[in-house]
Amino acid sequence: MRRAGLVGAISATGLALLLPLALTQPYLQHLLVASVINGILAVSLGIVIGFLGELSLAHGAFYGIGAYTSALLAKNFGVPFFLALPAGTLGAALTGFLIGIPALRLSGHYFAIATLGFQGIVILLITNLVEITRGPMGLSGIPAPGGINLFGGGISFQTKTGFYCLSLAVLLVTLWFTYNLMRSKFGQGFIAIREDPLLAASVGIRTKRYRLLAFCVSAAFAGAAGSLYAHYTLFISPDSFNLGESVYIATMVIIGGMGTISGPLVGAVLLTTLPEMLRVAGGLQFVLYGLIAMIVVIFMPKGIVGMAALYLRGQRDARIPAPGTTPGE
């Protein structure tokens, strides 16, 4: 079972690496990069929504903190990208810690509202500390990362394909860390807390610490995504990190499937590429996203990935009924 998962992961990675060769138009390659960055955002938010069972509306803020931290360090202090990225990640994690300590005292609706408030405060601060962030005018002239020499050849990160590989690497690290975390005692703790916080506490799980940990990890990855975004588009402004962005990422997680690691990734890829696939634009894609998300929440809370898993399990059960068991058990 685990071997199958590993094989699947490696093949998927291989496939992903080959995609830029097939999709050569710049716009499609741009979509690849965008899908990966959104993937990192969705998977990281998925930790909070799926495994802690809470809706955080502050993810856009962490995304933005990562972006601005990384961009400002690179632009004003000449920090190379490979240090700016971790700096952005840390900055977001720290913000997650500061916001998490008060916010996680609450849960359910109150927690969501508190994150809404913090999201607003962060964006207002970014917008208004104009001397530092250039506010609504945005920060331009962000240096792009150079490139690396790998196995004798070089990859330039200043091409879309090169940056895609870079982002893919970050996504893979995110997925790997998340997967390990969820299989570890920490992931088990998160699930226990989500299912029954009182029972979890009664077996010694330090609910407060764990929730804070999950929140910070989630924020950290969002910060990494922010750094990638900043050094890709080379221009950032507060509008990209506002409440609308938080909601957009949450929608990806909902549609793709909460409670799994691959679900949010599927949701991210889908929502990023859907406008292109269906040739919809002009706001119509949000109509679709909202509609699908509502349907998912009401009818299929496990999202697309959940439905697929159920379908596959049903197929398998139909084909091979084990002796003595009831089919579909």
Partner 1 sequence: MSELILQQIVNGIVLGSIYTLVALGLTLIYGILEVVNFAHGEFYMFGAFVAFLAVSRLGMPYLPAIAVAAAVSAVFGFLVERLLIRPLIRRGAPPINSVLVTVSLSTFLIGSFGYLFGADLRQIPSPYMKKVIHVAGAFLTMQRLLVLVVAVLLIALLASIVKYTSLGKQMRATAQNIEAARVVGIPIDRVFSITFMIGAALAGIAGGLVGAMFVVEPTMGLQIVVKAFIVVIVGGIGSIEGSIIAGFGLALIETLAGALLPAEFIDIVGFSVMIVVLLTKPTGFFGVKAVRSA
Partner 2 sequence: MDILAVSNVSKYYGGLAANSEVTCRIREGEIVSLIGPNGAGKTTLFNLISGMEKTDCGTIEYAGRDIGGMEPPEIARLGLVRTFQQTKIFRDVKVKEAVMIGRHIHDRTGFLGALLSSRSARSERRSGSEKVSEILTFLGMSFQAESVARNLAYGDQKLLGIAISLGVEPKLLLLDEPAAGLNIQESARLMEIIRKIRDKGITIGLVEHNMKLVMDISDRVLVLNYGKLIAEGTPGQVRKDPGVIEAYLGKSGNA
Binding stretches for partner 2 (CB under 8 A): 177, 180-181, 183-189, 191-192, 195-196, 198-207, 213
Of the candidates 17, 43, 34, 1, the residue with the CA atom closest to the CA atom of residue 265: 43
* Cβ closest to partner 2, residue 8 vs residue 154: 8
User: 153: which strand partners?
Assistant: 150
Give, as one character, the DSSP assignment of residue 25.
Answer: S
Which does residue 184 bind out of partner 1, partner 2, none, counting CB within 5 to 8 angstroms by kind? partner 2
For residue 108, state whether it binds partner 1 (rule: CB under 8 A): yes
DSSP 64-105: HHHHHHHHHHHHHH---HHHHHHHHHHHHHHHHHHHHHHHTT
Q: Give residues 189-208 in contact with partner 1 (rule: CB under 8 A).
A: 193, 197, 207-208
* Cβ closest to partner 1, residue 85 vs residue 258: 258
Q: Give residues 222-241 in contact with partner 1 (rule: CB under 8 A).
A: none
* Cβ closest to partner 1, residue 75 vs residue 208: 208
Token pair for 15: 């496939």
Q: How far is CA 318 from CA 306, 308, 323, 324, in A?
A: 18, 15, 13, 14
* Cβ closest to partner 2, residue 55 vs residue 217: 217
For residue 169, state whether it binds partner 1 (rule: CB under 8 A): no
* Cβ closest to partner 1, residue 163 vs residue 248: 248
Q: How far is CA 173 from CA 13, 200, 297, in A?
A: 12, 29, 29
Rg (CA), the chain: 20
The upper half-sphere exposure of residue 323, i.e. CA atoms within 13 Å in the direction of its Cβ, equals: 0
* Cβ closest to partner 2, residue 187 vs residue 264: 187
Smallest distance from the beta carbon of 65 to partner 1, in angstroms? 16
Smallest distance from the beta carbon of 172 to partner 1, in angstroms? 28
Of the candidates 145, 190, 185, the residue with the CA atom closest to the CA atom of residue 165: 145
For residue 30, state whether it binds partner 1 (rule: CB under 8 A): no
The answer to whether residues 92 and 66 touch, using CB atoms and an 8 Å cutoff, is: yes
For 158, other C-beta atoms within 10 Å of its C-beta total: 14
Q: Give residues 122-141 in contact with partner 1 (rule: CB under 8 A).
A: 124-125, 127-128
For residue 7, state whether it binds partner 1 (rule: CB under 8 A): no
For residue 302, state whether it binds partner 1 (rule: CB under 8 A): no
What's the length of the chain? 329
Residues lying near partner 1 in the complex (CB under 8 A): 49, 53-55, 57, 102, 104-110, 112-114, 116-118, 120-121, 124-125, 127-128, 193, 197, 207-208, 211, 243-244, 247-248, 250-251, 254, 282-291, 293-294, 297-298, 301
